[in-house]
């Protein structure tokens, strides 16, 4: 706890209460808050799943793009046509 400065090892919230461990080896990784500990569990401790989640979150900011006067198309910067500078 002292090594982490008394905060969650992921989000930095104060007073974390959950001991996080590697489910394969059993080794303790750190102390986490309830939400971060549960979140890692939901992603099955997989860096690949977490990276895909980050990519998904970054790619879901849909924007209206003017494709013809009065006609708009919804586009995502990471899926489909990137927004024009006039959107």
Task: Tell me if 3 is assigned to some domain.
Answer: yes
| pLDDT higher than threshold 60 for residue 79 | no
Range of the domain at 33: 1-45
Task: Tell me if 71 is assigned to some domain.
Answer: no
Q: Write the pLDDT tens digit of every residue in 29-42.
A: 999 999 999 999 99
pTM for the whole structure? 0.65
Task: Tell me if 83 is assigned to some domain.
Answer: no
Distance CA 11, CA 18 (A): 13
Task: Tell me if 38 is assigned to some domain.
Answer: yes
50 burial level (CB within 10 Å; 0-12, 13-18, 19+): middle
Query: How many independent structural domains does the chain possess?
Result: 1
What CATH number corresponds to the domain at position 1? Answer: 3.40.1800.10
At 87, is the pLDDT very low, low, confident or very high (cuts 50, 70, 90)?
very low
Decide: 77 and 61 in contact? Cβ < 8 Å: yes
Task: Tell me if 84 is assigned to some domain.
Answer: no
Q: Write the pLDDT tens digit of every residue in 40-74.
A: 999 998 999 999 898 878 766 677 888 889 898 88
């Amino acid at each position: 706890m002292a090594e982490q400065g008394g905060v969650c090892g992921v989000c930095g919230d104060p007073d974390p209460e959950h001991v996080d461990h590697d489910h394969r080896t059993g080794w303790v990784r750190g102390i986490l808050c309830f939400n971060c500990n549960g979140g890692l569990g939901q992603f099955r401790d997989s860096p690949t799943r977490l990276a895909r989640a980050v990519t998904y979150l970054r790619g879901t900011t849909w924007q209206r793009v003017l494709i013809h006067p009065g006609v708009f198309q919804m586009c995502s910067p990471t899926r489909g046509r990137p927004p024009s500078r006039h959107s």
